């Protein structure tokens, strides 16, 4: 029986049915669409269509020409319904196979449209071909060997024209027209005449102009690496040489010399003939780190939001061609098109700014790890306070390895941290003082010894609220449900969310109350005012989003501080991390409680990181460092552990708490925020979305806890009401399963003005 069937299954040549196949491109449109589509590739484009290039295809009811990324090319059975690709957009692929794969993963994991995700991975400037220019070349036509004919022809030429051809000949027969005119001291018209006479032809090419690289002097440090650093470098260079995926968690206390480890790791990658990417949280605050890298490597490209279009596009091309081996940059640098990547470093991996706040809401660190996995290369995650996600992964994932730097370089002591309980302080002194007596005396000492101090307050503005003591109301933004903050610089009340500004009323406006409004709470401007009053001789500068307009403002100010041009630097959390100033002997935390007040399961972790990190700015030079931390919550775990510099103790405690409450990193969270101008419509949509999700998930056996809908932490923003839903899954696999399901079923298409899906949110604000 079997035999018979086998024979019948082997068709003879004669009865092979004629299967028509077609060359087909699978594409993802650059539109909010979840599906991908097939298009027939016409013969004239057959050689040029490749995955990673953009094409134009007819789409929608009117076959409107629309752009799409080509994902793959294959031979498929011919179908009459297939439409043809209309045109090719790019001269060369913008994304290689691995980057396409990374994009597919991101779009799936972060529940974002594939076309839009791929689009985001390539700078807009590159897509517009900024920084590339058309260059016109003159090419000599008469070939060597036809000497006689040439001489005959030459006689008909003027001396000028002959000169031009000679110059061209000496340049191997090809020269940009602009250069040729300059060298032969002639005009374009001469070249045109020569073209008519057949002496030369023109040719146009699209060329990339070289990126401008900063002129930084190469310096090698004079110190010797300590034993911990040597051991760390040994381990990392070994994995870089092995060229296999792994995650090396570099947990080094503040001032332990992590940058040196990065430098040696990158050197190893370059020695292997490969490239390296180093990611940094925010460029303005990492100018120091960047400069240190530039001092150590021949060619370093920087990618950040401060670049002009042309710079961005040139840098991208230079990296793609492999000319520049080291890339350093913020979030989007994780997509740097290195053709032969050997290493990715994520500095300060716990920084919340690594999470993108626009779709796809990806976490740069997690994308870096995924890219490392796809490229099969090591990834280094560095921090003095690793995120609890990373710390937990060290225990559970076999690819994660811990490297410790437990001591500061040069055996410098860790800073001495003093806690000031502001409740006691207020009792002991009359009036409200922003600065405790301990803080004041340390600042006094700093001035006497001609050293420097950093003062941190995690809030901008002058006062936090405008408060009516009579009826207990506060002034809120007319468009958002948040307090307005009084700014002394503008004398206006600002909304830090929608940037609305209001003239400050003297009297309370709430129904006939008429009480006198008082400013309550404190911001950086108020700290500045108090410092100026108490230390009239001190030179001080404030650094926050209100005083800084561009990346170069930050660089200038930090540079001036480094050169000791002023004594006190006052700022928000942006000054807490990464900075290394040898003359800073004192750090004051005006209030450690600002982050604790937030209703977010990560408040404790943030508070701990902030206090420990800012304390780490102190005592990095010859003089030992002191830190004063002012708090109303001196008995809370994050503050206590931060004061003791005890990361591991804190991590253990906080991880226990997260485990008990079934919170990340033990679970995976998705936050959905719906917004609409009409409250009733919003609530109905949110409730029916929860119902739909619940039904779908239980039908497919995907367990999830669904919380909400309830008003978001900011229940109204820019005149829209906001509702929040939290989904909590036990594993990443269930989460992806759920996101796939919602995509397939179109579940998240609900009729509200906006819907945000935030997978692994870093903030619930």
Binding site for Zn ion (CB under 5 A): 477, 479-480, 495, 497-498, 500
Minimum distance from residue 279 beta carbon to Zn ion (Å): 32
Residue 477 binding target from ligand ADP, Zn ion, none, CB below 5 to 8 Å by type: Zn ion
Q: Which of residues 227-256 bind ligand ADP (CB under 6 A)?
A: 229, 252, 254-256
Minimum distance from residue 528 beta carbon to Zn ion (Å): 24
Asked if 121 and 188 count as a contact pair (C-beta separation under 8 A), the reply is no
Minimum distance from residue 219 beta carbon to ligand ADP (Å): 10
* Selection from 247, 236, 270 nearest residue 376 by Cα: 247
Strand ordering across the sheet containing 501-503: 485-487, 492-494, 501-503
Name 764's Cβ contacts closer than 8 Å, sequence gap at least 6: 599, 600, 601, 602, 671, 713, 724
Does residue 257 belong to the site contacting ligand ADP (CB under 6 A)? yes
Which of residues 224 and 635 has its CB atom nearest to ligand ADP in the complex? 224
Residue 226 binding target from Zn ion, ligand ADP, none, CB below 5 to 8 Å by type: ligand ADP
Exposed e or buried b for every residue in 115-125, given b needs 16+ CB within 10 A? bbbbbbbbbeb
Handedness of CA 263, 267, 270, 272 (dihedral sign): negative
Does residue 286 belong to the site contacting ligand ADP (CB under 6 A)? no
Residue 500 binding target from Zn ion, ligand ADP, none, CB below 5 to 8 Å by type: Zn ion
Minimum distance from residue 355 beta carbon to ligand ADP (Å): 22
Does residue 577 belong to the site contacting ligand ADP (CB under 6 A)? no
Which of residues 114 and 328 has its CB atom nearest to ligand ADP in the complex? 328
Residue 221 binding target from Zn ion, ligand ADP, none, CB below 5 to 8 Å by type: ligand ADP
Does residue 198 belong to the site contacting ligand ADP (CB under 6 A)? no
Among 425, 580, 600, 687, binds ligand ADP (CB under 6 A): 580
Name 102's Cβ contacts closer than 8 Å, sequence gap at least 6: 121, 335, 367, 370, 371, 374
Among 34, 119, 260, 605, binds ligand ADP (CB under 6 A): 260
Q: How many CB atoms lie within 10 A of CB 159?
A: 7
Which of residues 207 and 580 has its CB atom nearest to ligand ADP in the complex? 580
Residue 501 binding target from Zn ion, ligand ADP, none, CB below 5 to 8 Å by type: none
Name 583's Cβ contacts closer than 8 Å, sequence gap at least 6: 451, 452, 564, 621
CA R_g for the chain: 32
Among 107, 126, 208, 226, binds ligand ADP (CB under 6 A): 226
Segment contacting ligand ADP (CB under 6 A): 219-227, 470-478, 652-660, 716-724? Answer: 219-227
DSSP structural state of residue 463: B
Residue 223 binding target from ligand ADP, Zn ion, none, CB below 5 to 8 Å by type: ligand ADP
Minimum distance from residue 138 beta carbon to ligand ADP (Å): 52
With tokens 């609220």, the residue in question is 465
Query: What angle, rounded to 10 degrees, do the helices at 551-562 and 287-294 form?
Result: 80
Which of residues 372 and 578 has its CB atom nearest to ligand ADP in the complex? 578
Q: Where are the beta strands (DSSP E) in 545-700?
A: 568-571, 584-589, 626-631, 668-676
Minimum distance from residue 580 beta carbon to ligand ADP (Å): 4
Asked if 502 and 492 count as a contact pair (C-beta separation under 8 A), the reply is yes
Does residue 221 belong to the site contacting ligand ADP (CB under 6 A)? yes
- The Cα–Cα gap between 110 and 359 comes to 8
Minimum distance from residue 497 beta carbon to Zn ion (Å): 5
Asked if 662 and 620 count as a contact pair (C-beta separation under 8 A), the reply is no
Q: How many CB atoms lie within 10 A of CB 634?
A: 18
Minimum distance from residue 282 beta carbon to ligand ADP (Å): 15
Torsion of CA 551, 553, 559, 562, to 10 degrees: -100
Q: SS3 for 127-139, per residue? A: HCCCCEEEEEEEE
How many residues bind ligand ADP (CB under 6 A)? The answer is 17
Does residue 600 belong to the site contacting ligand ADP (CB under 6 A)? no
- The Cα–Cα gap between 373 and 199 comes to 56
Minimum distance from residue 620 beta carbon to ligand ADP (Å): 6
What sections of 645-731 are H helices per DSSP?
647-660, 679-699
With tokens 């009401």, the residue in question is 721
Minimum distance from residue 457 beta carbon to ligand ADP (Å): 22
Minimum distance from residue 542 beta carbon to Zn ion (Å): 23
Does residue 413 belong to the site contacting ligand ADP (CB under 6 A)? no
Residue 566 binding target from Zn ion, ligand ADP, none, CB below 5 to 8 Å by type: none
Which of residues 43 and 411 has its CB atom nearest to ligand ADP in the complex? 411
Minimum distance from residue 515 beta carbon to Zn ion (Å): 23
Does residue 42 belong to the site contacting ligand ADP (CB under 6 A)? no
- The Cα–Cα gap between 218 and 294 comes to 7
Residue 260 binding target from Zn ion, ligand ADP, none, CB below 5 to 8 Å by type: ligand ADP
Among 53, 54, 116, 258, binds ligand ADP (CB under 6 A): 258
Does residue 107 belong to the site contacting ligand ADP (CB under 6 A)? no
Positions that interact with ligand ADP (CB under 6 A):
221, 223-226, 229, 252, 254-260, 409-410, 580
């Amino acid at each position: 029986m079997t035999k018979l069937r086998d024979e019948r299954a082997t068709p003879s040549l004669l009865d092979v049915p004629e299967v028509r196949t077609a060359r087909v491109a699978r594409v993802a449109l650059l539109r909010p669409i979840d599906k991908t589509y097939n298009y027939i590739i016409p013969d004239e484009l057959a050689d040029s269509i490749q995955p990673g290039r953009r094409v134009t295809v007819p789409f929608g009811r009117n076959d409107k020409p629309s752009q799409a990324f080509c994902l793959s090319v294959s031979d498929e059975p011919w179908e009459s319904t297939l439409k043809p690709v209309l045109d090719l957009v790019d001269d060369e692929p913008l994304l290689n196979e691995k980057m396409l794969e990374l994009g597919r993963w991101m779009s799936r994991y972060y529940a974002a449209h594939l076309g839009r995700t791929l689009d985001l991975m390539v700078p807009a400037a590159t897509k517009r071909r900024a920084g590339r220019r058309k260059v016109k070349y003159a090419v000599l036509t008469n070939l060597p060997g036809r000497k006689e004919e040439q001489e005959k022809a030459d006689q008909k030429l003027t001396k000028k024209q002959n000169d031009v051809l000679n110059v061209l000949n000496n340049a191997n027969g090809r020269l940009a027209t602009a250069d040729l005119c300059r060298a032969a001291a002639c005009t374009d018209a001469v070249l045109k005449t020569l073209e008519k006479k057949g002496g030369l032809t023109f040719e146009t090419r699209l060329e990339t102009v070289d990126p401008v690289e900063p002129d930084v002097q190469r310096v090698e440090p004079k110190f010797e690496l300590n034993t911990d650093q040597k051991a760390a470098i040994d381990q990392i260079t070994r994995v870089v040489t092995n060229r296999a995926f792994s995650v090396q968690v570099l947990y080094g206390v503040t001032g332990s010399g992590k940058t040196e480890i990065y430098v040696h790791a990158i050197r190893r990658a370059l020695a292997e003939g490969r490239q390296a990417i180093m990611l940094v949280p925010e460029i303005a605050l990492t100018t120091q780190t960047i400069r240190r890298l530039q001092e150590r490597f021949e060619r370093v490209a920087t990618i950040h939001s401060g670049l002009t279009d042309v710079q961005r596009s040139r840098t991208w091309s230079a990296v793609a061609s492999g000319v520049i081996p080291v890339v350093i940059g913020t979030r989007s640098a994780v997509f740097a098109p290195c053709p032969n990547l050997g290493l990715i470093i994520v500095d300060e991996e716990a920084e919340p700014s690594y999470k993108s706040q626009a779709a796809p809401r990806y976490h740069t660190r997690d994308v870096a790890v995924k890219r490392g996995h796809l490229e099969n290369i090591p990834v280094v995650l560095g921090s003095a306070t690793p995120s609890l996600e990373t710390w937990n992964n060290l225990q559970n994932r076999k690819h994660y390895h811990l490297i410790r730097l437990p001591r500061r370089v040069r055996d410098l002591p860790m800073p001495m941290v003093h806690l000031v309980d502001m409740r006691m302080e207020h009792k002991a002194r009359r009036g409200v003082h922003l600065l405790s007596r301990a803080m004041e005396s340390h600042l006094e000492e700093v001035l006497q010894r001609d050293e420097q101090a950093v003062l941190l307050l995690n809030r901008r503005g002058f006062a936090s609220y405008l408060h009516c003591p009579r009826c207990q109301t506060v002034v809120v933004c007319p468009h958002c449900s948040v307090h307005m903050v009084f700014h002394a610089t503008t004398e206006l009340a600002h909304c830090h969310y929608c940037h609305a500004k209001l003239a400050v009323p003297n009297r309370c406006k709430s129904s006939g109350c008429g009480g006198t409004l008082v400013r309550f709470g404190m911001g950086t401007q108020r700290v500045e005012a108090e410092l100026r009053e108490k230390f009239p001789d001190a030179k001080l500068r404030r650094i926050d989003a209100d005083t800084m307009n561009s990346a170069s403002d930050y660089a200038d100010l930090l540079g001036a501080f480094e050169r000791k041009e002023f004594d006190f630097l006052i700022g928000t959390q942006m000054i807490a991390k990464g900075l290394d100033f040898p003359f800073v002997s004192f750090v004051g935390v005006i209030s450690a409680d600002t982050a604790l007040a937030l209703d977010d399961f990560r408040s404790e972790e943030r508070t701990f990181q902030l206090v420990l990190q800012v304390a780490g700015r102190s005592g990095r030079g010859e003089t030992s460092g002191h830190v004063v931390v002012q708090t109303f919550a001196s008995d809370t775990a994050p503050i206590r552990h931060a004061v003791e510099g005890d990361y591991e103790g804190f991590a253990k405690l906080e991880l226990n708490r997260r485990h008990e409450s079934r919170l990340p990193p033990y679970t995976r969270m998705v936050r959905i925020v719906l917004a609409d101008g009409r409250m009733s419509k919003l609530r109905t949509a949110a409730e029916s979305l929860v119902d739909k999700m619940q039904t779908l998930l239980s039908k497919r056996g995907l367990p999830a806890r669904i919380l909400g809908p309830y008003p978001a932490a900011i229940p109204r923003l820019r005149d829209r009401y906001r509702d929040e839903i939290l989904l909590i899954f036990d594993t990443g696999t269930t989460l992806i399963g759920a996101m796939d399901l919602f995509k397939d079923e179109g579940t998240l298409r609900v009729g509200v003005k906006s819907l945000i899906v935030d997978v692994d949110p870093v903030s619930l604000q």
